[in-house]
């Protein structure tokens, strides 16, 4: 059985594509022996390493825009998300495992902005590692511990390939969520070749939740659509550049490139589309690899 060391990149809600990528890798008979991830890559990878990915998948598929807003406990006055409600839910799914007790090697990457360096979590609390790795600056409040100010790993390393090298697997597969490759410009949702080919509906509709939204929800939505767009677009530009730098330094055997136009950074209510896209994009890459065709 071919073994895989999997690298899962940062990219907000597009990280749901990691779920589809993992499902397709396993479906084709590969064995994942190592995962390293930043931000959403650390979250999805941690769920997989703990054996809780199916439960996490089922949960995110229930989320609509209203549930996401209320789950994130967004405060206009502070301009940041504490994340308490999110991590209460994640703790219910995960329990309290330590990284060293997981069945596969796992690395979550965070950035210590106080000392300007990467922090690799390879032991200790899995939930704590995920919390530090997903703390997007200006959006989630940072984790402050032992003199370190820990934020989203994508600030310094959006595609942590180096930890995957040590696993000595047959293949290193990286899933990059921040590609700006113009060849993907025709794959925008709601209608693109992957979703059509999968037999899913050509038309994707937002849940009819307008009647459920309070004035506070609308105010939050307007805020996120304004200043958050600017902030997160800036983060994505930075991460796309850093990811290409990491790829050039340590080229993986296979790169699954997920375009930025798949979804916005904070479209956490659109799990189904992203999961399916990730699965089918990974299928195409693995088919090309197995057929000896160009892959990257």
152 carries an active-site annotation: yes
Give the pLDDT score at 20.
Answer: 97
**Contact (Cβ atoms closer than 8 angstroms) between residue 266 and residue 13:** yes
Give the pLDDT score at 52.
Answer: 96
Which among 5, 38, 39, 263 is annotated as catalytic? 39
39 carries an active-site annotation: yes
> What are the 10-residue block averages of pLDDT along the chain, 296 residues in total?
95 94 97 96 97 96 86 57 81 94 95 91 95 83 86 88 90 90 44 44 36 51 54 68 76 92 85 94 94 79
Which among 10, 38, 112, 152 is annotated as catalytic? 152
Give the pLDDT score at 263.
Answer: 84
Give the pLDDT score at 140.
Answer: 77
Give the pLDDT score at 202.
Answer: 36
Give the pLDDT score at 54.
Answer: 96
Give the pLDDT score at 214.
Answer: 55
Give the pLDDT score at 233.
Answer: 66
């Amino acid at each position: 059985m071919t073994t895989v060391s999997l690298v899962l990149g940062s990219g907000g809600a597009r990280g749901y594509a990691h779920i589809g990528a993992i499902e397709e890798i396993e479906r084709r008979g590969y064995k994942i022996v190592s995962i390293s991830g930043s931000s959403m890559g650390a979250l999805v990878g941690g769920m997989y390493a703990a054996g809780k990915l199916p439960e996490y998948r089922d949960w995110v598929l229930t989320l609509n825009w209203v549930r996401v807003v209320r789950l994130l406990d967004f405060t206009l006055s502070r301009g940041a998300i504490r994340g308490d409600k999110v991590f209460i839910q994640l703790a219910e799914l995960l329990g309290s495992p330590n990284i060293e007790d997981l069945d596969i090697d796992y690395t979550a990457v965070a950035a210590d902005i106080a000392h300007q360096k990467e922090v690799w979590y390879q032991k200790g609390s899995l939930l704590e590692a995920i919390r530090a790795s997903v703390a997007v600056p200006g959006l989630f409040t940072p984790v402050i511990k032992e003199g370190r100010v820990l934020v989203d790993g994508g600030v310094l390393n959006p595609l942590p390939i180096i930890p995957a090298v040590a696993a000595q697997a047959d293949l290193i597969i990286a899933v990059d969520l921040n590609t700006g490759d113009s060849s993907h410009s025709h794959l925008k949702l709601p209608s693109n070749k992957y979703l059509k080919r999968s037999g899913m509906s050509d038309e994707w509709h937002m849940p009819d939740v307008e009647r459920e939204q309070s004035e506070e929800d609308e105010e939050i939505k307007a805020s996120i659509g304004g200043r958050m767009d600017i902030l997160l677009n800036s983060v994505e530009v930075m991460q796309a550049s850093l990811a290409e730098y990491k790829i050039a330094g340590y080229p993986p055997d296979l790169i699954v490139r997920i375009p930025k136009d798949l979804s916005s950074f904070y479209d956490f209510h659109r799990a189904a589309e992203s999961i399916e896209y990730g699965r089918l994009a990974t299928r195409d890459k693995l088919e090309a690899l197995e057929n000896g065709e160009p892959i990257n």
